[in-house]
Each structure stands twice: as C-alpha cells, then as structure tokens.
C-alpha cells in the first residue's frame, strides 16, 4: 500500500489501505527483456524488504512467515550462478513470487534502517534503489543479531545458516557471486565521495522501526563498515 514522491533529493512516502490493488497479475515472462542489473537490483530490494520486516519493531507472525518464505526463495534463486541462470523462467518466477511475499511483509511492518540509509545514496549519488538499500544488509544483520538474537536467527535459518555469523558470511559470498561489490564501487565512486554527502541517514518512519536503536553516528558507522566489507576504497 506504499507509494513514493521525490522532491529534489528527498523521498516522501505515501500510504493508505486503499492503495492496495484489488487484483495483482504476476507474469514472470514480462520481465524476460530486462538486463542483468534491471533484474538484480529489484531482487536485492526484495531481499532487503524481507530482512527489514524481520528485524522490525512491528514484526508479527504473519510478516515473519512471509519474509522467511521470501528469503528462502531468494537465497535459492540468486545463488549458484544467477548471472548465468536469471533468464530461466523458473528462476524469474521464484524471484517475482518472493518479491510479492516480501512486499506483503513490509506492508505490515514498514522498512527500517537499511532503507533509511539508502535514500541519500539514491537521491544524491544516483545509486539504484535495490543496490542502495541492500549493501548494508550484512552489517545491519550483525548489529540486529547481537541486539535481538531471536530475530537474527530467524533470518540466519532462512538463509540456511546455523548462526548469524554464518549468515553474514553467506551474504558476503552471495554478493561476491552477484557482482555487488563492483557495482557499488562504480555507483558511489569512493568512500571520500560518500563522506562528502553530509546527508541525514535517519529517515522518520523508517529508522525507528529497527529493533536496535541507530542514530546518525550509528548509521555512518554502518555505512563505513559496509563500504569496507565490499571493498570500496
């Protein structure tokens, strides 16, 4: 039930139950002509939606179930050489179905700190939204897993891991296989360029949903650690 309005370098969200469609027609074959990046970035956005709905103060049984199903499906679909397989109908269907599940999950919870951090990256640096809201996920998982172990373990198990640390390693490996580090480096340019943003990374209605409290300084630490993790110089 969400929509977005952009005003120069700021994003404004709108929401209302009447924005829900009466019918949604999901046709994977309609995405066949998309490039690799056009396919990858929305898939990463869906992964962020699912994870953010779990480490969320508004999480509940229904949102958890939808998010876990989405993470499991995305983990299977994006792993194992997605770059070579994403044209396969079964893979596209899995990603599209997972995107729907993740969207239904955040319709119950809203997003959290990863999306909050992403907005200046998209508005000021032009980083594609799905890339901007997903590059911090490993670091945010570490933070939230330490703060709320049961939330972190729910995500870890959905990723097929036995612990948060193992889940973070799996995300690192997945990102490397998908080419996320190189794409992020190309999009942001350098860590110095990010530091020069001097942007507010705490978006009202988003950051406070995160189970672990994060302020501006905390967001900047998450960004620095994420850029370092992904090899952005």
Residue bearing tokens 């396919």: 39
Give the pLDDT score at 84.
Answer: 67
Give the pLDDT score at 9.
Answer: 65
What's domain 35-229's superfamily in CATH?
Answer: Dehydroquinate synthase-like - alpha domain (1.20.1090.10)
Mean pLDDT value of segment 11-28:
85
Bridge-partner residues for 11, per DSSP?
Answer: 6
The residue extents of the domains of the chain are: 35-229
The model's pLDDT over 166-214, given as tens digits with 9 standing for 90+, comes to: 999 999 999 999 999 999 999 999 999 999 988 999 998 899 999 999 9
The model's pLDDT over 108-124, given as tens digits with 9 standing for 90+, comes to: 999 999 999 999 999 89
**230 within 8 A of 174, measured Cβ to Cβ:** no
**214 within 8 A of 113, measured Cβ to Cβ:** yes
pTM over 0.75: yes
**Alpha-carbon gap, residue 45 to 89, rounded angstroms:** 20
């Amino acid at each position: 039930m969400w929509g977005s309005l952009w005003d120069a370098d700021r994003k404004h969200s709108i929401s209302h139950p009447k924005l829900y469609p009466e019918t949604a027609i999901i046709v994977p074959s309609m995405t066949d002509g998309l490039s690799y990046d056009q396919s990858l970035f929305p898939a990463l956005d869906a992964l962020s939606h699912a994870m953010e709905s779990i480490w969320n103060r508004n999480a509940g049984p229904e949102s958890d179930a939808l998010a876990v199903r989405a993470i499991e499906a995305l983990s299977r679909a994006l792993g194992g050489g997605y770059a070579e397989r994403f044209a396969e109908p079964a893979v596209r269907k899995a990603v599209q179905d997972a995107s729907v599940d993740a969207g239904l999950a955040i319709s119950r919870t809203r997003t959290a700190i990863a999306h909050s951090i992403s907005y200046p990256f998209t508005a000021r640096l032009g980083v594609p939204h799905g890339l901007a809201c997903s590059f911090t996920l490993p670091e945010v998982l570490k933070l939230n897993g330490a703060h709320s172990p049961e939330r972190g373990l729910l995500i870890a198990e959905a990723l097929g891991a036995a612990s948060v640390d193992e889940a973070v390693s799996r995300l690192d490996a997945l990102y490397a296989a998908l080419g996320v580090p190189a794409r992020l480096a190309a999009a942001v340019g350098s860590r110095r360029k990010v530091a020069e943003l001097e942007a507010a990374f705490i978006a009202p209605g988003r950051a406070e949903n995160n189970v672990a409290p994060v302020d501006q300084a905390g967001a900047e630490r998450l960004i620095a650690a994420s850029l370092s993790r992904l090899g952005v110089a």
